[in-house]
Each structure stands twice: as C-alpha cells, then as structure tokens.
Amino acid sequence: MQADFVIIGAGSAGSAMAYRLSEDGRHTVLVIEYGGTDAGPLIQMPAALSYPMNMKMYDWGYRSEPEPHLGGRRLATPRGKVIGGSSSINGMVYVRGHACDFDRWAELGATGWAYADVLPYYKRMESWDSGGHGGDPDWRGTGGPLHVTRGKRDNPLFAAFVEAGRQAGYQVTGDYNGEKQEGFGPMEQTVFNGRRWSAANAYLKPALKRKNCTIVRALARRIVIEDGRATGVEIERGGTIETVRANREVIVAASSINSPKLLMLSGIGPASDLMKLGIEVIANRPGVGRNLQDHLELYIQMAASQPVTLYRYWNLVGKAWVGAQWLFTRSGPGASNQFESAAFIRSKAGVKYPDIQYHFLPIAVRYDGQAAAEGHGFQAHVGPMRSASRGAVTLRSSDPREAPKIVFNYMSKSEDWADFRTCIRLTREIFAQDAFTPFVRHEIQPGAAVQSDDELDGFIREHAESAYHPCGTARMGRADDPLAVVDPECRVIGVDGLRLADSSIFPTIPNGNLNAPSIMTGEKASDHILGKTPLAPSNAEPWIHPHWQTSQR
C-alpha cells in the first residue's frame, strides 16, 4: 500500500495524471477512487446521458443549500462517483475555453497558464476527428488519448440553428475550439466509435494495464501530514481504516467539491473554521473552499410544427429501438449526446470575447429526463459565462463521510439578472429568424406572455439550473497571495509533498464546459510533478472580433 505518487480521485484530471506519471515506467502510481465500475450501457451510450447523473450508484448526490436568490431552491450538484469521475456522467461536450480566459488566469497570478502555455497541452491530449465536417486542423491535436468528434448533424434543426444565428447577424465559426470561438457552428463531443470517451476510457484504463499503475477502491478520509510534509492518505475500505504511503507526493484530484473538503479535513483551510470543528490546523489557507463558481443556464423551449425532433423516440418502443441499434451497431441516435450545434456570442458592445454560450438540442427535455408536455419541441440551453457571484464549500463536521455544505450564492449580483434577461431576449430573436419559420409552432417556456423585466426575473428565479460546472474552490495564484491555495506548479502552499490538480484550481471559470480544461490541468500538472520543462508556448493568435468595442455582433 505505497507508491511514488498517490492520486486521490480517478476523474478527469486524476486519470490524465495516472497516465502521464506512469508513462515512462520509472515511477509507481496508485489511484484511490471511491466509486465503482463504469461498465454498462447507461454510461457508455452517449444518448443515455440523463441517467448516470441521476443515479446514486454513479453520483455523490450533492445538493446546494437553499439558494437565497433563487427562492430558496436547492440545486442538484452532480459529481461523478465512478471510474472516470464526472467525465463518466457528464454531457460529453468538449470546449477548451476562450484564449482570453487563460490569459486572465496568468494576470491573476497563475504564471505559465496563459493561452499560449496551455494550447500545446490541449493539442497533446487530443485525437481530433471532425468526421469530414470541417474544422481547423492547424489548431488541433491528432495523436492524444482523448478522442474528440462531431455529431453528424443529420437533423435539419441543427443547421437551422446555425443559419438563424447567421441571419441574426452573428459570426459563423467552423471550429470554436480553434482560432475563432465566437459564432454559431458545430458542437464537439468526447465520443469515439459511438461510445462515451471518458477520461477512464482515454487515460485510466490504458494506464492500469501498466505494471506500475494500480487502483484502490476506498474512501479517502484525510491526507497524512508529518512535520509539514504529506506522506500518505488515510483511507477506509470494508470498514477498515488504513494508510497508503506516498514515497514522493500526494496528489489531490477529487473535484471542486471533494478536493477542498479533503484539504480541510486534513487541517488545510481557514484556521477559524477548522478550529471550531476540532481539526488541528496544519496550514491556515483562508482560500480553501472559497471562490466557488459555476455556470447557470435556462432552457428556452419551442414547440415544433413538424415531427422532426427526438420526441419520436420518447416512448418505450422508441427507446428500445434506439438502445438495440446502439448495442448491436454503436450507431443511430444513441451514438451521439445530441448536442451537435452550438454558439458563443457577446452580450453587448464593449465585451471583448463571448460571454454567452448556447447548447442546441432537438428535443424539449430537462436534464432529469422529463420531456416537455407539448411533445415535439426543441430548446437552447443559454446562460452567461462570467457571473461575478461567488460561493463556498465548507465542512459540516469533521466526519469524512458527511457531505460538505455547498452554497453557490447564485444570482447575488444585480448584473446577473440583467445578463440573464439579455440571454432570453437574444435567444427569442434567434428563434424568430426565417431559418426557424418552418419548424416553430410557439414558445413553450418562458412563454410569449412573459415579457417584462419582472416577469423574466420570476422565470429565471424559478427555472435557472446549474450547468454542472463548479470550480475555483482552491484557486491557483502566487505563493505570496493569501487567498491562493496552490502555486502555478499546483503545489499546495504551506505543505510539502502535496499537489492539487483539478477544476478546483481555476482562478476564474472558463467559457463553456469544464471537462476539457480539467483534463488539460491534469496533463500540464503532470509535467510540473515530474519536473519536466513545460511544452514550448504557442505563437497562435486567436480571433477577436475587430469591432468588439462598438458592436455586439
């Protein structure tokens, strides 16, 4: 029960690090994961994505505290409790983030994490295949473990969404993960040969075939710290408490919810909070658990005037047919997450780069699998990318088995409400374009009667949902920054032999879905852990709208 490197968490970043740290065969790697196997069609079939994130078997089942600005609603906060972590229960959408997001990280003290620094790691991790659907090979990687593909976009609604954006005066982009994020275009997915290509499939399973990489199924209770140095991890399995020893380093990659929880249980966090719970303070880091960020989104739903949507499969016979086709051929509707068109736009003139994201879906349905009562319909998931609201993850007690307290503090700033109203109004304008005329019957939600600021605010308060992108709870920064938790080499400040690398360390939330940046974090952290010279920075220049200061589109 010892290894050179002990990694806590077999999720997006943890799996990538297990692969890279064991790659040359010189070091032993042990991964601690509480969750079980990812085998079975509910995880591996892309179109079944609403099932695993609602199953206790695969999800930690966290919920926020009553959110004060959302009418006291408690929002679901799924985190993967399974091999592959949240990459095994997510929507499989692949977004790198905007170049300016990472340049902002560097400005905030995450030196060496500007876009020029991280782009080579995105290229290293990808095996990109546009499937003949266009794109930008100069900006993409082709030899990495992570397969990134595009859906076929056979449904006419996918083309209608992009054309409607063009008709409304927005940019069109052939590859939002390439030079130009801004605009309407095809969405990318971590799907390969018709199955979910999670971090487990891409990284962990190949790593575990090596003699020097093993996995232990156990609950990590706390990090063992002796004389200021992390020397191991206390685990519980089968009712027995044991210690796994780390010869070189302990690496935390347990998610933006569980990583700060584990640090605090180990005595690393806000001293006053820890002392109240009787936890010995090893390192007073007031930033642990703070700076919690997420993306909220709304589903703007339209009833369809033609039976072209996925609703035709939304019955027992249809689902059985889709499932059988996928099981036997890995093809058909089951082989895609059905997010095949996307957009990134700016909310107003003076915004330098996109601050609104769209996922388009050719069915009107919620993440919990509840279809709209209207039957045939379609929807755009829309939300602001850069809310100023911040929340926190804190301990309820010193019991490692107790869920932490999660308060996102969503919609706590007045600009959040203005931004969301803008999202709704811009989406209505897009759906009103000629491209959608053959397909639109009427608006399901918010509904045509909901127009005033107060009415829209009421809809937002009642219907805004998390996009499941929590991050930022152990942010990276300069070693002398009192609120930073890790330095730019992912070393936990104040404790030797301890690193943290997952979405917790993001100083600010990047545009889009967080799986890609989380894997990139594991890739880049691996080079820091091994003492390698980071990959040479890129000279690529991303596209910025030439008239951003004076034009919204």
Residue bearing tokens 């930033």? 287
* Sequence-ordered list of residues with C-beta below 8 angstroms from that of 67, at least 6 positions apart, any chain: 73, 74, 75, 407, 408, 409, 410, 411
Interatomic CA distance for residues 466 and 463, integer angstroms: 10
Give the CA angle between residues 207, 210, 216 to the nearest 5°. Answer: 70
**Which amino acid belongs to residue 410?**
Y
Query: Strand locations in 273-313, DSSP E?
Result: 283-284, 296-304
Q: Among 217, 223, 215, which residue's Cα sits nearest to residue 249?
A: 223
DSSP letter at 244 equals E
Interatomic CA distance for residues 84 and 281, integer angstroms: 32
* Sequence-ordered list of residues with C-beta below 8 angstroms from that of 408, at least 6 positions apart, any chain: 64, 67, 75, 292, 294, 389, 391, 466, 470
β-strands 191-192, 195-196 pairing: antiparallel
**Residue 125 assigned as binding residue:** no
Token representation of residue 507:
């100083």
Interatomic CA distance for residues 410 and 421, integer angstroms: 15
Interatomic CA distance for residues 541 and 30, integer angstroms: 39
Q: At what angle do helices 156-167 and 414-431 cross, to 10 degrees?
A: 110
How many other β-carbons are positioned within 10 Å of the β-carbon of residue 539?
Answer: 7
**Residue 317 assigned as binding residue:** no
Q: How many residues would you count in the chain? A: 553
Question: Catalytic pick from 69, 98, 376, 469?
Answer: 469
**Residue 385 assigned as binding residue:** no
Told to judge if 98 belongs to the known catalytic residues of this protein, a careful annotator would answer no
C-alpha distances (whole Å) from 87 to each of 357, 469, 518 are 20, 12, 10
Q: Among 381, 343, 340, which residue's Cα sits nearest to residue 364?
A: 381
Q: How far is CA 468 from the centre of its chain?
A: 7
Token representation of residue 177:
């993960």
How many other β-carbons are positioned within 10 Å of the β-carbon of residue 441?
Answer: 14
Q: At what angle do helices 12-21 and 515-529 cross, to 10 degrees?
A: 30
**Residue 93 assigned as binding residue:** yes
Q: At what angle do helices 115-125 and 515-529 cross, to 10 degrees?
A: 100
**Which amino acid belongs to residue 77?**
T
b/e map of 74-113 (b: 16 or more CB within 10 Å)? Answer: ebbbbbbbbbbbbbbbbbbbbbbbbbbbbbbbbebbbbbb
Token representation of residue 169:
């005066």
Q: Among 351, 267, 254, which residue's Cα sits nearest to residue 12?
A: 254
**Residue 91 assigned as binding residue:** yes
Catalytic residues: 469
Annotated binding site for FAD: 82, 90-93
